[in-house]
Structure 1
């Protein structure tokens, strides 16, 4: 990252509003059920699935399909890489919003 914060330095995959919402929700928990994410984000099933697939392809989330009795259940969790990517995203965004003052350490 350059000394001067730039919008181009933000992770574009995370910066997309729906994916930012998903990653933010997952950052606060160990894992989340697909239906919980569906409810909290307000996305459609197809839209949520598409965004989760993109995050999974990037290695940011792990998706586990299980059953509770005979009912299918999809669990989603941030990977260590996803957690680190979100922390880096937050730090860079913070520097864009509150840039360091010239001469600050």
Structure 2
């Protein structure tokens, strides 16, 4: 499992972003149901790991921030989900052998 993505807020953030090419900070914050500070902290951790791109710009005169997964981030999510599925499969297999 990936220790960076395993954190529940980061997993939620990466899962949200996996469904789109790029999303505005406020949309991600609302979709993940976290505060600005929680999103910012976790986005920074994902960016430091190379999993997230942060793009800053303006819409009119208002500053905006957009977030997107890197190819490395998408691959890390896929591998993490596969590892979780392996855990589920192993638990089901173990439970099945106990009940036999």
Q: Structure 1: where are the runs of 5+ without partners?
A: 1-9
Which among 65, 79, 83 is matched to residue 74 of structure 1?
A: 65
4+ long deviations beyond 2 Å: none
Alignment RMSD (CA, Å): 1.2
- Post-superposition shift, 1:98? 1.2
Which among 33, 43, 60 is matched to residue 52 of structure 1?
A: 43
Q: Is 2:14 aligned against 1:15?
A: no
Q: Which residue of 2 aligns with 1:83?
A: 74
What's the TM-score, normalizing by structure 1? 0.84
- Larger helix share, 1 or 2: 2
Equivalent pairs, count: 92
Q: Which residue of 2 aligns with 1:6?
A: none
- Post-superposition shift, 1:44? 1.1
Which among 21, 24, 37 is matched to residue 28 of structure 2?
A: 37
What's the TM-score, normalizing by structure 2? 0.88
- Post-superposition shift, 1:88? 0.4
Q: Is 2:11 aligned against 1:24?
A: no
Q: Structure 2: where are the runs of 5+ without partners?
A: 94-100
